[in-house]
Amino acid sequence: MLPSHLNGHSPLARRRPRLSAASPPTTGDSDAAAAAAAATADAPLAEHDRIYFQSYSHIGIHEAMIKDRVRTDAYRSAIMHHQKFIEGKVYAVEASEMATQAREIVKANNLDDKVVVVHGRVEDVEVEDKVDVIISEWMGYMLLYESMLPSVLFARDKWLKPGGLILPSHATLFMAPITNSERYEGSVDFWSDVYGINMSALVPLAKKFTSEEPSIEIIGGENVLSWPFVVKHIDCYTFKAEELKSITTKYKVSSMMLAPIHGFGLWFEVEFNGPSNPTDNSPSDLNPLDVIHKKRRRGSEDPVVLSTAPEDEPTHWHQTILYFPDPIEVKQDQIIEGSVKVSQSEENPRFLNIQLDCS
């Protein structure tokens, strides 16, 4: 069993934002903002949440996200696709101190009569009416890191009108074995001969460091050894926050080539759509090849999809890689099977623990 931990103390820890909720307020903008601010003034905040939201006051985080054209264009396309549901006034809920700048941006663009910026956690603020639409960018590394989805589900249960829209509406976490000799040689084998000096005593330490925490990096389709399998499919209209505490999935895939397995890669895609039809197949019911072909066949009337897959244009999420201490040689068509467990850290639910079995 290979344990890994995705947490905010490692250099790969990227922190991400809050919730935006769209709805028509029933009172004036300043009154709505003042009421919501008063409601959150004395709300208690756990230390890990305080640090988390404080990190979003750094402009560099917002710069990285907004400059991600794949991400930003997907949200723009989704908003335009569902424009008739979104037109009107909007509550923009922001837990970090960036709410101050958000209000200035709203004013500078003459949107005071349309956008009300509310400073506070979505769990703590109050709005005076049910909402028609919830728009959120809650996805972290390997989809679930940072655990922002429960905030969306909280807003859904408290404020979303029956038949309301959630964007993104569905999310799928994929996983597949990967090969990456160049990366492994550069991080592990490198120490065997460093400019002519034998430093192989550091190889065990390099293996430990490489495998004990996930690596956030970009791989290509050529690095993927099998069709991906679905770790978890999430329907944001029906999903329960309790389901995130622990997710366990068994897998069985076939290697497409003779190559060493250096670990497993995880990535996700989200879809911007209405509620699922109960008769539709979810991605967990489909062959991954069918999921990929369906994505490739999408037309202008199909829901917008934001993908972080290795074969698609890179995003700031990259892919999440779980490296083995030592590679495993496999033959073409060899079966690779095991299980993966993703659970929230007991110390801080925004962090993840990952356990991987492979044979």
Query: Catalytic site residues?
Result: 137, 146
CA distance 133 to 156: 9
What six digits make up the tokens of 44?
């208690």
Q: Which residue(s) pair with 338 in the sheet? A: 251, 358
CA distance 108 to 90: 16
Q: Residue 64 phi/psi, 5° resolution? A: -60, -40
Q: What is the CA radius of gyration of the chain?
A: 22
For residue 18, what are the CA distances in angstroms to 57, 158, 180, 260, 278? 12, 16, 34, 40, 30
Phi-psi region of 143 (alpha: psi -120 to 50; beta: other; left: phi over 0): left
Q: Is 157 exposed, middle or buried (0-12, 13-18, 19+ CB in 10 A)?
A: exposed
Residue 232 burial (CB count, 10 A): 22
Contact 140, 14 (CB under 8 A): yes
* DSSP letter assigned to residue 308: -
DSSP assignment of 121-169 = -TTT---SS-EEEEEE---BTTBTTT--HHHHHHHHHHHEEEEEEEES-
